[in-house]
């Protein structure tokens, strides 16, 4: 007995849209969760640890929210096809590394070499961002 199945046509655009919706949803959930975690940790550090821990916690978590927003902008830009994705990725990288530098400063740096390497990475990324912004203006 032979069973004929109708041919299923699969459109790449539909797959691209579905993946875009899923990735956006995951990032939005991550941003909202990080906002909640930031609020919870900030309040708990104020109550338990005092104002110094409050500042450290608030800055670390706020900078992580900025990194997540930069990643969301990069994804949104990529999915809309505007072509500035490299700028957003570089911005997110700079934000993340600056966050790491601030965390290292607050927690006590193991060695100055670590800070110098991270600062060098920020300088390279900043120069790359400068070059991409000039290239975007020329287009």
pLDDT at position 1, please?
57
Q: What is the per-residue pLDDT for 66?
A: 87
Neighbours of 43 (CB within 10 A): 12
Q: What is the mean pLDDT of residues 4-33?
A: 82
Q: Is the pLDDT of residue 86 over 80?
A: no
- The residue-averaged pLDDT of 45-54 equals 83
Q: Count CB neighbours of 55 within 10 A.
A: 14
Q: Is the pLDDT of residue 28 over 90?
A: yes
Region 62-87: what's the mean pLDDT?
80
Rounded Cα distance between 107 and 74, Å, is: 30
Average pLDDT over residues 58-73: 86
Predicted TM-score (pTM) of this structure: 0.69
- List helix spans (H) across the chain: 12-48, 51-80, 85-107, 112-138
Per-residue pLDDT, 70: 83
In percent, how much of the chain has pLDDT > 90?
A: 18
Burial tier of 34 (Cβ tally within 10 Å: 0-12, 13-18, 19+): middle
The tokens for 135 are: 């290239």
State how far the Cα of 1 lies from the Cα of 15, in Å rounded to an integer.
Answer: 34
**Max CA separation in the chain (angstroms):** 77
Two tokens at 56?
């450290």
């Amino acid at each position: 007995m032979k069973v004929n199945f109708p041919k299923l046509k699969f459109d790449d655009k539909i797959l691209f849209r579905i993946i875009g919706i899923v990735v956006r949803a995951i990032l939005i959930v991550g941003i909202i969760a990080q906002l909640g975690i930031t609020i919870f940790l900030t309040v708990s550090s104020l109550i338990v640890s005092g104002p110094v821990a409050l500042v450290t916690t608030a800055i670390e978590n706020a900078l992580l929210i900025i990194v997540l927003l930069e990643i969301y902008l990069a994804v949104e830009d990529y999915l809309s096809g505007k072509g500035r994705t490299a700028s957003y990725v570089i911005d997110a990288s700079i934000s993340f590394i600056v966050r790491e530098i601030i965390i290292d400063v607050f927690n006590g740096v193991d060695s100055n070499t670590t800070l110098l390497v991270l600062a060098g990475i920020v300088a390279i990324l900043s120069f790359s961002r400068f070059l991409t912004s000039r290239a975007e203006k020329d287009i």
